[in-house]
Structure 1
């Protein structure tokens, strides 16, 4: 039991036979690597699991706790089921298909990593904060490459981020000088799990190496012309830090397409929502209505125009995504009953022939 606690086990997750518990530490296509805190196993999904899975959300993700059958002599395991998640970071999968993708599971904290160079994107940070709140974890904004900036430049960026990351901790660090690392470790307590999320080239893999004290993850620089990064991490993997905290590294995401988040948009945009509540009319459209507090705040500079437009854009995107998901669910339900009807007709015809 002590070994499980060292890799983040929480007794409130589920009452299950402890010898059958393992945690997913790597996912590569259809291959999984799990650990029980004592030994690592190469794992595959049981036939029953595959037959019962109906959605990408049903499959194991890095950070998941799973019920397994261990083949200790071969260091292999069979995954029978995924235990209930306490948190899950979900995004709309890349491409045109309406499908959810779990980036990480059962994390306590999400480190939203950005670099302090001209690739900083406040709108992207807003998206990550929204998705982190929706996941059930707590966001922390991490600004890397502090050694490449002057103190005034760092302070200027910190102020910009504070204005949109209301109530979210912000830590500026340098992997070169280790400045800010001790402050970051306050969010990496023993037996806690954090996930690193952000674009390519912002320093996630370098940070993993810094925290582990050894070069485990491959790293590459960024293009000097535009500070854009190149993909170095190709899969999701969870590492155990020297203090028994768990850290999930993920490939860089060029964009974060939202899957859900309507319930937490107020937490992400507390300032905008507060102005809306001060409007004279409850059904104010924030256009030409008299007594509109939003328009007043925009005109006098209390509310930044770009932030307000981002708020509206994310609302539209969430509404559109919800419509797509509902249409997909309706189509799947229709196809399901088509198959049932077809099977019933075939069974009926078979009985008549007999």
Structure 2
């Protein structure tokens, strides 16, 4: 493999120039897989296993500071392909799909990095949920990539025309594609596949992400399992993120199905442009859109041009993002101090000693 072949993995002339002017002895590579602390990286020399350098590890505060699938990195390579390379540098990302780690943790989790297009996959069966779609759109628009809503299992839709119309109404300008892998309609997604461009598939378990990728690859690259009767979520079929090059020249990242997508940030101006514009017309700048006089948002609900459900979801998501951002900010600050002092106890002792010196 050479640099020309590496373009099939998304290498651009801009990135080549950036690397050539900022590094001397490092090898450029793209992370295509991860297994705990070891990364699978593709380089002009071939495929390597790599780990993070001590320096990069010491500078990292949370998951956002570590390499992820899709990242371009600078490696120090050993004398043999069998040697574990060392990731010395993480190059700037042009997009980043980020969520709060599942559960009570306030740390970030990278879903995909350096993605050009995000396929938000939602099935038109029992998985269909507009509120959840709005949640995905908020994060997708904020990531820097272009979202496309891919409605799968169109053959199982109970009210196809109305479902499509409702999705288009809230898609905030994102293109909407309805398809099924049981017929040739799945080929609609190929419109968005381009050589050297990366697409990330995201969505709940069982919506057909891996099946779509298998169709695009022309072969079975990921296992799939049938959805249990009455289970809208299905079963997890992808257990880790993986970057694959398609025969057509495009690049895909398959991600594990998400049972929850907790927000750390979001693009509300794009996803909820209608509400944001109405809010500018409210009588009071700090209008809560509940009982204030002169509220343009409530007036739109009364007129039937805005649903109370959409407003409620907007307010819920915005509050969640604000709370999680604040919690994460505090968590990152505490992590920095712990890195500096080794523990909270040593940090408190240092602060106490400084106070005593001032007296």
Both proteins in one fold, TM over 0.5: yes
Q: Aligned-pair distance for 1:340?
A: 6.8
Preserved contact between residue 28 and residue 72 of structure 2 (Cα < 8 Å): yes
Match of 2:237 among 224, 232, 238: 232
Corresponding residue for residue 30 of structure 1 = 37
Q: Is the alpha carbon distance of 1:154 and 1:56 closer, same or farther for their aligned partners in structure 2, counting shifts above 3 Å?
A: same
**For 1:74, what is the secondary structure of its paired residue?**
coil
Matched, 1:70 2:77: yes
Corresponding residue for residue 351 of structure 1 = none
Deviations 1:67-95 (A, max 9, x none): 11234442643221211111111110112
Q: Aligned-pair distance for 1:213?
A: 0.4
Take 2:89 and 2:28, find their aligned partners in 1: how far apart are those partners? 10
Q: Is the alpha carbon distance of 1:38 and 1:143 closer, same or farther for their aligned partners in structure 2, counting shifts above 3 Å?
A: farther
**For 1:227, what is the secondary structure of its paired residue?**
coil
Kindly tell me the number of residue pairs found equivalent between the two proteins.
341
Matched, 1:309 2:312: yes
Match of 1:296 among 299, 313, 321: 299
Q: Aligned-pair distance for 1:191?
A: 0.5
Q: Aligned-pair distance for 1:207?
A: 0.8
**For 1:23, what is the secondary structure of its paired residue?**
strand
Alignment map for 1:81-100 (pairs within 5 Å):
81-100=89-108
**For 1:80, what is the secondary structure of its paired residue?**
strand
Deviates more, 1:18-27 or 1:192-201: 18-27
Deviates more, 1:35-44 or 1:267-276: 35-44
Take 1:115 and 1:156, find their aligned partners in 2: how far apart are those partners? 14
Match of 2:196 among 191, 194, 197: 191
Match of 2:110 among 91, 99, 102: 102
Matched, 1:206 2:208: no
Stretches of structure 2 that go unaligned for 5 or more consecutive residues are 354-359
Matched, 1:55 2:62: yes
Match of 1:285 among 284, 288, 301: 288
Preserved contact between residue 110 and residue 196 of structure 1 (Cα < 8 Å): yes
Q: Is the alpha carbon distance of 1:140 and 1:75 closer, same or farther for their aligned partners in structure 2, counting shifts above 3 Å?
A: farther
Stretches of structure 1 that go unaligned for 5 or more consecutive residues are 347-354
**For 1:15, what is the secondary structure of its paired residue?**
helix
Corresponding residue for residue 120 of structure 1 = 128
Corresponding residue for residue 251 of structure 2 = 246
Preserved contact between residue 200 and residue 253 of structure 1 (Cα < 8 Å): yes
Deviations 1:209-250 (A, max 9, x none): 010000110001111223331001100001100122110000
Q: Aligned-pair distance for 1:11?
A: 2.7
**For 1:86, what is the secondary structure of its paired residue?**
coil
Corresponding residue for residue 352 of structure 1 = none
Deviations 1:65-124 (A, max 9, x none): 011123444264322121111111111011212101111100001110011102111111
Q: Is the alpha carbon distance of 1:36 and 1:333 closer, same or farther for their aligned partners in structure 2, counting shifts above 3 Å?
A: closer
Aligned-residue Cα RMSD (Å) equals: 2.3
**For 1:179, what is the secondary structure of its paired residue?**
helix
Corresponding residue for residue 356 of structure 2 = none
What TM-score, normalized to structure 2? Answer: 0.88
Take 1:35 and 1:333, find their aligned partners in 2: how far apart are those partners? 32
Match of 1:10 among 9, 12, 26: 12
Matched, 1:133 2:138: no
Matched, 1:173 2:176: no
